[in-house]
Amino acid sequence: RIALDGFSPAFAEQLREGTEPFGRLLARNGVVFSVEVLGLLAAPPADVWAAEGRVPGGATLYGRIGRLVRADGWTIAETVELLPRA
């Protein structure tokens, strides 16, 4: 969940498009932030992961639940990130 109301309309639209990694867009636009890890997780194998073509079939994904916080303490976003084992 992204708090789009904290950004200019043009920048919020870039975030909505989702064509670039979220953190990269924030950094390029001068948004200083940190990530608070709220929890770690494992997602069992599912065909949907392989359907994207980036994860081998039967792979368990690992990740974290986090909160991106601007330097002034404002919550930019709550995130869930999943990655296959390297």
- pLDDT-derived band of residue 53, with 50, 70 and 90 as boundaries? low
DSSP class of 60:
P
Q: Is the pLDDT of residue 84 over 80?
A: no
Give this prediction's pTM. 0.74
Q: Is the dihedral of CA 28, 23, 13, 31 positive or negative?
A: negative
Q: How far apart are CA 39 and CA 70, in angstroms?
A: 19
In the sheet that 33-43 helps form, which strands lie side by side, from edge to edge? 33-43, 61-70, 75-84
Kindly report which listed range (27-31, 42-46, 51-55) carries the lowest average pLDDT score: 51-55
- The pLDDT of residue 61 is 85
Q: For the chain, what is the mean pLDDT?
A: 87
